[in-house]
Structure 1
Amino acid sequence: MGALMSCMSSPPPSGSPPQAKRRSSASSRRGAKAAEIDEQALAAAAALVLGQRGGGGGGAFDRSASVRYAAKRQQQGPPLPRSSSTRPRSLADPELQPQQLLAKDLNTKDLETNIIVLVHGGGFGAWCWYKTMSLLEDSGFKVNAIDLTGSGINSSDTNKISSLSEYAEPLTSYLKGLDDAEKAILVGHDFGGACISHAMEKFPSKVAKAVFLCATMLTNGHSALDIFQQQMDTNGMLQKAQELVYSNGKDRPPTAINIDKALVRDLLFNQSPAKDVSLASVSMRPIPFAPITEKLMLTEGNYGSVRRFFVETTEDSAIPLSLQQSMCMANPPEKVLRLRGSDHAPFFSRPQALHKTLVEIATLPRPQAS
């Protein structure tokens, strides 16, 4: 469409100076290229949702797309074009190349682990990490994005998920499959924080570090519902946006939560590029209700033995900054880092700054014993 509009544009007056003609031509080319990229993004989004409806081959999502398609991507030549968003770039998210974010002498093989596992939040899927996966892989990390049960292209029915352990099973199965000497850095977003907490309690020896990215970082005996209830009391936006699903009948407890599409941008993506919002709008799935209400059993010997880090997002409407800080005060992590200007989806709104923060955490040595 952009190319067609470019061809139909009237030519500049004959008296226009050559420089003005060049500017007009360059502007048309940029507009056509932007439209082309947006069309590609929407086509990819449509392919994703068709894959979900088709069951993804009928099986669970096997580790990450980055593992299965890494070799193919290398054969295809140069990477896809960068975002064509017209959003003004914040100082918190400068236009940097991956090699600029790392010390030139950094070798990820020298770290305690170079394995990073990305765990999405409620309603999201492995698809939301596509920018972060690419940046981390280019920096030398082994990256796995997990589709939790009933999420992304996992074919399970969200309404039938009855526990947190069932919901987080793809993550715990992945950790169980690691070799004895292998560890991973877990990054949990949103409700993914409860999922990585469950995994830390179950497999503490497999987790080198845990990163809570504007996530539910709970204390023993509490549920994610406790946190979301506080959010509702803070500004009420979440309560307006959520739609409860009663697949077992109105006289039974809810089975899932949907987010109102009309409010999803203001709640989750108020700083994100339009094409990423489009991708999310056709890819997000209902959030299972039972795992949100489950109270976590966390012990100091297991969960407490893992190094924890929290990443704040300052423009977050889903889990406001004040609520994030409240969680950190109740359950202090080793370090708190901040992504200025980020909404609740930093992998969309501040991908470069998020990448830099994750690399910083991955390279932090264990504190010296006093």
Structure 2
Amino acid sequence: MGNRVMCMKKKDIITSNVRDGSRSKRVNRSQRKLLSDEEMLHRRALSMAINQAQLSQRFDGSMSKRVGSTSSRRRPLSDPFSNNKQVPDFSESLTVKKFILVHGEGFGAWCWYKTLASLEESGLSPVTVDLAGSGFNMTDANSVSTLEEYSKPLIELLQDLPEEEKVILVGHSTGGASVSYALEQFPEKISKAIYICATMVSDGQRPFDVFADELGSAERFMKESQFLIYGNGKDKPATGFMFEKQHMKSLYFNQSPNKDIALSMISMRPVPLGPMMEKISLSAERYGKGRRFYVQTLDDLALSPDVQEKVVRENSPEGVYKIKGSDHCPFFSKPQSLHKILLEIAHIP
């Protein structure tokens, strides 16, 4: 542990010259069915997002555990992103089958709909969670001032696990800070932690510091940013931020399908600022003993490959994976690649 390793040699990963998602010139009947299945998944997620936007005042704080799932039944030999090839069921060889998927800033459990479905189809047990003020959790984002408050739904989920049960935590973007916080609180409950183009911070570092090369220093951002939200009044400190739609499209979704961009535009919510600016305390005795893996996205404009490389260099995860052709949202732009990586990490002894 502590030594970086380059992993994955499958066609979607950087070690290959074959482009992920390439289609044959002739779309046969089985491929059309796959496209139809994926479209159905998207329609379900989009429908839920629209309901959220229209009926948000009716929801109280909650966790979304099966957003976008096509079925509660297990179909282990059918992978919706495998070009209809029969894939072996490896789940029986796993000691830890439960994944908890943690979204990043502005997102919610809804963003994992493809990943959720593909993991379920592989015989695993994924769970998604809405952090405070995100997704279907109707906590006012302006009232969330600490990482502890922001991560509370995740912490409660871990607390409710049976005593001997372990999970694999997956964090996207700033969700990595919540994963690190959880790893510090419950190292005995977390088998592995996977950071996807995420804020894998060092002890005493702020999640925002990872983005400093992209957005400027925290002090400059707080003073000059046009995206800040003052939920308690202009005379009080900023409580959150949210990029304009055009900025979000260019930063987050430069490789994602248009339908997923549309889903995101009606679903993303303001980001609580306090948790982003809080220095995290991480100990060698608890967090330091966790098994951490990092997934780099090489066409990312929100967190550049150079910055991600710096994060990896400074924090020494056990394994490093790189996805070529992925923007900041590989669950949209490269779901097949991400799915393969998650399965690969799950099977590491």
With structure 1 as the length reference, what TM-score do the two structures score?
A: 0.77
Distance in 1, Cα, partners of 2:169 & 2:298: 22
Alignment match, 1:65 = 66
CA contact (8 A) 1:119 1:126 kept: yes
Alignment match, 1:193 = 176
Question: Quick one: structure 1 residues 66 and 99, their matched pair in 2 at CA, closer, same or farther if it must change by over 3 Å?
Answer: farther
Once superposed, which parts of structure 1, at least 4 consecutive aligned residues long, lie more than 6 Å away?
37-40, 238-242
Consecutive unaligned residues in structure 1, runs of 5 or more: 1-25, 27-33, 83-93, 366-370
Question: Quick one: structure 1 residues 44 and 197, their matched pair in 2 at CA, closer, same or farther if it must change by over 3 Å?
Answer: closer
Q: Name whichever of 169-178 and 42-51 sits farther off.
A: 42-51
Alpha-carbon offset, residue 166 of structure 1: 0.6
Alignment match, 2:12 = none
Give the aligned CA root-mean-square deviation in angstroms. Answer: 3.3
Q: Name whichever of 39-48 and 294-303 sits farther off.
A: 39-48
CA contact (8 A) 1:120 1:128 kept: yes
Whose relative contact order is higher, 1 or 2, with alpha carbons under 8 Å and at least 6 apart? Answer: 2
Alpha-carbon offset, residue 129 of structure 1: 0.4
Aligned counterpart for 1:144 among listed residues 119, 123, 127: 127
Structure of higher CA gyration radius = 1
Distance in 1, Cα, partners of 2:66 & 2:86: 23
TM-superposition CA deviations, 1:60-86 (whole Å, max 9, x none)? 223502599843x789xxx9xx7xxxx
Alpha-carbon offset, residue 305 of structure 1: 1.1
Consecutive unaligned residues in structure 2, runs of 5 or more: 1-26, 28-34
TM-superposition CA deviations, 1:298-330 (whole Å, max 9, x none)? 001111111000000000000000000101111
Matched, 1:243 2:244: no
Distance in 1, Cα, partners of 2:118 & 2:69: 17
Aligned counterpart for 1:168 among listed residues 137, 143, 151: 151
* Structure 1 counterpart SS, 2:245: coil
Question: Quick one: structure 1 residues 143 and 218, their matched pair in 2 at CA, closer, same or farther if it must change by over 3 Å?
Answer: same
TM-superposition CA deviations, 1:325-349 (whole Å, max 9, x none)? 1011111000101111100000000
With structure 2 as the length reference, what TM-score do the two structures score?
A: 0.81
Alignment match, 1:311 = 295
Alignment match, 1:338 = 322
Question: Quick one: structure 1 residues 175 and 349, their matched pair in 2 at CA, closer, same or farther if it must change by over 3 Å?
Answer: same
Alpha-carbon offset, residue 262 of structure 1: 1.5
Matched, 1:357 2:307: no
Give 1:293's aligned amino acid.
M
Give 1:164's aligned amino acid.
L
Q: Name whichever of 256-265 and 284-293 sits farther off.
A: 256-265
Give 1:165's aligned amino acid.
E
Alpha-carbon offset, residue 253 of structure 1: 1.4
TM-superposition CA deviations, 1:184-228 (whole Å, max 9, x none)? 000000000000000000011000000000000000000011112
Matched, 1:328 2:328: no
For this pair of structures, how many residues does the alignment match?
313
